[in-house]
Structure 1
Amino acid sequence: MSARDLSVAVCGAGPAGLAAALRLHSAGASVTVFDAAPHAGGRTRTDAADGWRIDPGVQLYSASYARFFGLLGAAGAGALAERSPGRDALWRKGRAHEVVYGSPTSMLASGALPLQLKLRMGAQYLPYLQRHGGDLDLGALERAAAAGLDAESIAAWGRRELGRDFVDLLAAPLLATLYGTLPDEASAGFYHALGRQGLNLEVRALRGGADGFCRAAADRLREAGAALHLSTPVSEVHTAEDGVQVSGEGWNERFGAAVVALPAPEAHRVAKFLTPEAAKTLHGVSVRPAASLALLLDRPAGVRWFGLSFAPGEARNVAAVCVQENKVGGLVPPGKGLLVVFALPDAARRLLGATADDALALLLPDVARALPGVDRAVVGARFYDWRDGWTIFSPGSLGRLPALRSLAWDSAPRAVLAGDWMYAPTVEGAVTSGLAAADRLLSRVA
């Protein structure tokens, strides 16, 4: 059988699933995409509300995401990407200190850090990142494990090597804001890979919203004759002698092959073709809820920075606030404002399944302390939650990634898994997994 004779079901219309679908389609396969949500994108979705365009999850994309931007161009949407200023702030001791967040060199120049930590950063941490540069690749985190950098948490490493301020003022805000993770549970190797990337940090936004890639990919697939079934949850994927059977409530279809591109717990539930070893390993992938609250304002927020992160103890329930009018044009009506507020991990867990009013009551007090008077400017609120929003890359997990991929790809000849949990908890990690899963599938039918 050649790829042109192959029909493939792709379960999941997030970046991983759509990357796999594009690769399979380009090889000539007939592709059908299923997703439980009424929209493509997963946590990269963009929600329209009375002239506001809300990005409740993913905000910006690192310019280093080569596979992501390659596919964005291949989908005909490369022109959507626009460099974002990268001006952020850290809230410490009752005020916002501007930084280019995630960049160690910028942090050295910021008033957010005490002098002693700046000296240690310049003398120890930046040379450390340079020295281990070849081991710190977000696209191949197993290299950090091979170099012995995955045995402890970044909290343990940081307190020993650079002091508590490193953990509280650098590691904690970045991890909570971008990865829903606490320093005590994050692999030191994973954080160092983030720090290495930050040495040359450039971020891009997508005009029209963060779902630009997924919208363009879905449109390209539809134009080429692929079928996209949204609001269509898949309950089971079984392997059969000559292919796979995909089923949901009241329906089932046969395909030649399948890609299950879902968060690890959902993949564990749906993929009935997994070997016992693969199922056990997948069950061990650590995830946690994510939650955000969009605040529609009758005026701009009136600050220069885009993202405000909070040092530990400075906010009870909020990890970060992102000012959408400072990200890229066209997301906010003229003269208005839009904030997206991200909950700290424990608050996100408590908010799972909550209403917008519940989230407003819990999160707005922290926002109002940083932006006095913003509570009086709120004219609308929308709440978003994801049960499996974050994958936690804990100490020891990086070295297991190659084996996890192998089990996810080799449990059945005509069915494979994809997801950011195989590579890194980023959009680039998701796209990389989707492309790799499609290639693995195609290699078996060529």
Structure 2
Amino acid sequence: MKELSRDLGLEGEVHGYLFKAANFKRGRFFAGVIDSDPRVLWRHRRDLMNSQGFTLAGLVQMARFMPAFLSRKRDYDLLDPHRVLDLDGDSAAEFSLRHGGEEVLEGLVQPVVTNLTLGEPEEVAAGYALTLLWNILHGVFTFRRGFGALASRLEESHRERIRLNNPARRIVIEGGRVKGVEVDGGFMDADAVICATTATTALKLMPDLPDSLRGPLGKVRYSACCHVILALRERLFPNGWYGVGFPRREGSFMNLCDNSVKSPYYAPEGCSLIHCFTYGKHSQELLAMEDAEILKRVTEEIRRYFPHMPSEPLFAEIRRWREAVCLSPPGMLGAVLEMRGRGKGEVRGLHLAGEYMYMPSVEAALRSGLDAASAALSTS
């Protein structure tokens, strides 16, 4: 992300922010700073001392889990998934129970996995989950004016080459090579096509894919999410908190974050911009509801933990994501890596891009796009 931002003259827009989050356990919030920088941890040492929220048995489990987790720290690279390929066969839940225990799974791994993938640890491969945990400990970054700044700059830089509002209907493949793209009202001849969609959409766009590509793409899975954004006149969380997580055993159906903490451009001073992310089976339930019912359910749920939550926000937006975040289930990573190694060449001129090509992440999505563009240019 930083490399592309620099190339587009946006390096000043990328900045880090303090990731202070709270977990709700046993009837109260345990808040702490998530970081590996000793200087940051020292400044927030009081929070750190009060943030663990584990029982004595849980601390014993953590003492078993941390050596297993840290022993692979050099392998946790979102852009080099080969390093954790041996962990791709197990789920995050299986790894947590084997090397820690129930409290490690439910009190640490599940909240992290759910917050970052909107899925469950049983649905996510161990190697991917551990890499997410390691990376979040090493700082988080955002664009001061939102991620849209990157898309806007790309559009400005290449406006004459971009055709907006012209959706592709089918990528035509004949004789082992790309012929072009069917669009509304016509056909575009092409020597090279970059398919930068979800894996499920790619399969629909390319019904003539060979099995060597169709098989791995068919292993990709996505979480669902009913995403509710609430603008509030006042702070909902205590000062400095960015996120709030609710372990699934607490019975909630969502996690919360306040994007006003990320940048002063996200919301006026003293206000909150709360993002509510549902996960698991609860997402499917809410996706079937009308907007008014969703807003009512979400507001009532927030008020269970924050009684000062207003009954009506300044404004609210509801976004339904039936495919929200790539989960990287057990076995997917190995299948995709094998496809990258041999399968793509079976269709000349076709280049796949998407977060599923590496370890699902913003970094992976951007890197796969750059890879696809370079490959397309080198063969054109």
TM-score (norm: length of structure 2): 0.88
Q: Is the counterpart of residue 202 in structure 1 residue 139 in structure 2?
A: yes
For 1:183, give the aligned amino acid.
P
Q: Is the 8 A contact 1:294 1:382 kept in 2?
A: yes
**2: CA distance, partners of 1:372 / 1:267:** 45
Distance 1:411 1:364, change over 3 A: farther
1:311 aligns with 2:247: yes
SS in 2 for 1:374: coil
Which residue of structure 1 lines up, in the alignment, with residue 44 of structure 2? none
What is the alpha-carbon distance in structure 1 between the residues aligned to residue 263 and residue 310 of structure 2?
24
Indicate the SS of the match to 1:128: helix
CA apart distance, 1:90: 1.0
**In structure 2, do the counterparts of structure 1 residues 358 and 411 end up closer, same or farther at CA, with 3 Å as the change threshold?**
farther
Q: How does 1:35-184 map to 2 (within 5 A)?
A: 68-101=1-34, 109=49, 110-121=51-62, 123-145=63-85, 148-184=86-122
Which structure shows the higher strand fraction?
1
Instruction: Give the distance between the partners of 1:390 and 1:217, measured in 2 at CA.
Output: 23
The amino acid of 2:172's aligned partner reads H
Contact 1:287 1:389 in 2 (8 A): yes
Residue equivalent to 1:237: 171
Distance in 2 between the 1:136 and 1:330 partners?
A: 32
Equivalent pair of 2:227/2:321 in contact (CA under 8 Å): no
Q: What is aligned with 1:288?
A: 223
CA contact (8 A) 1:295 1:380 kept: yes
Residues 1:377 and 1:363: Cα distance change in structure 2 (over 3 Å): closer
Please provide the CA RMSD for this pair: 2.5
TM-superposed deviation, 1:354: 4.6
The answer on whether the counterparts of 2:197 and 2:353 sit within 8 Å (CA) in structure 1 is: yes
Residue 164 of structure 1 deviates from its aligned partner by 0.6
Measure how far apart 1:69 and its partner are.
0.9
Q: CA deviation at 1:240?
A: 5.9
Q: In 2, are the aligned partners of 1:87 and 1:99 still within 8 Å (CA)? A: yes
**1:73-130, CA deviations, whole angstroms, 9 ceiling, x for partnerless residues?**
1111111112201111112222221123486997974242334433543x43333333
Contact 1:187 1:395 in 2 (8 A): yes
| Aligned 8 A contact 1:409 1:437 in 2 | no
How is 1:321-400 mapped onto 2 (pairs within 5 angstroms)? 321-352=256-287, 354-376=289-311, 378-400=313-335
Which shifted more, 415-424 or 287-296?
287-296
SS in 1 for 2:182: strand
For 1:8-46, what per-residue CA distance to the aligned partner results, in whole angstroms no more than 9, with x for missing partners? Answer: xxxxxxxxxxxxxxxxxxxxxxxxxxxxxxxxxxxxxxx
Task: Tell me which amino acid in the other structure corresponds to 2:243.
Answer: G
Q: What is the match of residue 252 of structure 1? A: 187
CA contact (8 A) 1:87 1:100 kept: yes
Match of 1:54 in 2: none
Conservation of the 8 A alpha-carbon contact between 2:171 and 2:178: no
Question: What letter corresponds to residue 363 of structure 2 in structure 1?
Answer: E
**One-letter amino acid matched to 2:252:** R
Residue 93 of structure 2 aligns to a residue whose secondary structure is: helix
Specify the alignment match of 1:60 in structure 2.
none
Amino acid in structure 1 at the alignment position of 2:171: V
Q: Does 1:423 align with 2:363?
A: no
Structure 2 partner of 1:55: none
Structure richer in helix, relative to its length: 2
Write the distance in 1 (CA, Å) between the matches of 2:158 and 2:12: 19
Query: How far did residue 384 of structure 1 move?
Result: 0.8
Count of residues paired in the alignment: 370
Gaps of 5+ in 2: 42-46
Over 3 Å counting, the alpha-carbon distance change for 1:108 and 1:298 in structure 2 is closer
Instruction: Check if 1:405 corresponds to 2:376.
Output: no
Q: Structure 1 unaligned runs (5+)?
A: 1-67
Change (3 A) 1:197 1:335: closer
In structure 1, what is the equivalent of residue 131 of structure 2?
Answer: 193
Deviation >6 Å, runs of 4+: 102-108
**Structure showing greater relative contact order (alpha-carbon pairs closer than 8 Å, 6 or more residues apart):** 1
Amino acid at match of 1:69: K
Instruction: Give, in angstroms, the shift of residue 165 of structure 1.
Output: 0.7
Aligned-partner Cα distance in 2 for 1:102–1:183 = 22
Pair 151,103 (structure 1): closer, same or farther in 2 beyond 3 Å:
farther
The residue identity in structure 2 corresponding to 1:88 is A
- When normalised by structure 1's length, the TM-score is 0.76
Contact in 1 for aligned 2:115/2:245 (Cα 8 Å): yes
SS in 2 for 1:342: strand
In structure 2, distance between residues paired with 1:267 and 1:76: 31
* Shift in CA distance, 104/83, structure 1 to aligned 2, threshold 3 Å: closer
SS in 2 for 1:293: strand
Q: Residues 233, 352 of structure 1: CA spacing in aligned structure 2 closer, same or farther, 3 A cutoff?
A: farther
**How far apart are the structure 1 equivalents of 2:99 and 2:311?**
45
The 8 Å contact of residues 22 and 244 in structure 2, kept in 1 or not, is answered as yes
